[in-house]
Structure formats: structure tokens, C-alpha cells
Amino acid sequence: MAGLLDFTKYDKDDRGVAVGPELAAELRRLANLFLVSSITLVLFLTRAFAEVFRVTFIPRPAYVVWGVVMLTGWAMTYVYGVFVTFKARRWGWFALCVIPFTCVPAAAAYAWIRRQEIERTVLGEDRTPAGRQKRGGRKTRR
């Protein structure tokens, strides 16, 4: 049983990487944008799936609530995506977030890609652990 929860001990040991307040604010904005846009994207894709396959067991009031939540998520993603990309001065992503049809997938993609860029910058390019094999791979046996 203790082996299943071994991953929790690493949270206490790792202090993380210290970043400046400006970068920390951008990371918070990216996390919020990704959360809102990804939930909205999942709702849209699920709705499309339900419409294409003519799902009939969902009651009509649930469809109405589902639609209201989707439109609210779309509006939040639109406004916040425009704000985040404008603040970061990423004009290509800003243009995609301004277009109502592409704002949700563009916001999710921007938040994911920008977080990876920041991670590479802060942690360094090569974060993969070294392999256990020596130079020569499996060709040599000992």
C-alpha cells in the first residue's frame, strides 16, 4: 500500500524553481486560461459527439444547462484569451483568440505551448534523465 503513494513524498522534498513575480503572474494567467479553455473545449466536443450520434437519453433541461455553460465558458475564454495574449504581446495568438470561431482551441493551445516555453527556459533544455545503458547500447553484453 505504501508503494502506491510514494509519489507524495517528493512534493515535500522539492522546493521548485524560484521565478520572478512577473513570470509567476504569467504562469498563473496561463494556468487559468488553460483550465477555462480546456473545460470549454471538452464541453463543445462532447456536445458535438452527442449531436452527431443523436443521443436521446439526455433530458432537454440538461441540454439547456449544457448550452448555457458552454456559452459562458466560450465568453470567458474569449475575453481572458484576448487579455492574456495581448498582455504577453503574442500577436499571432492574439489574432487567433480574437476570432470567435477559433478562440477556444487557440487559447488552450497557446496556454499549453507558452507554459512549455517557460518551462524550457527556466529548467533548461535537457531535462531527461540519463539512460542506464552505456555508449554502444545493446550491442555489447557483459
Q: What is the predicted pLDDT for the residue at 20?
A: 86
CA distances from 107 to 80, 81, 137 (A): 9, 6, 42
Closest CA to 97 of 73, 88, 86, 87: 86
Region 96-106 average pLDDT: 95
Specify the residue for cell string 512549455. Answer: 116
Is the model's pLDDT at 90 over the cut of 70? yes
Q: What are the boundaries of each domain within the chain?
A: 21-125
By the 8 A CB rule, do 34 and 116 touch?
no
**pTM of the predicted model as reported, rounded to 2 decimal places:** 0.74
- pLDDT tens digits, one per residue of 32-49: 999 999 999 999 999 999
Region 78-103 average pLDDT: 95
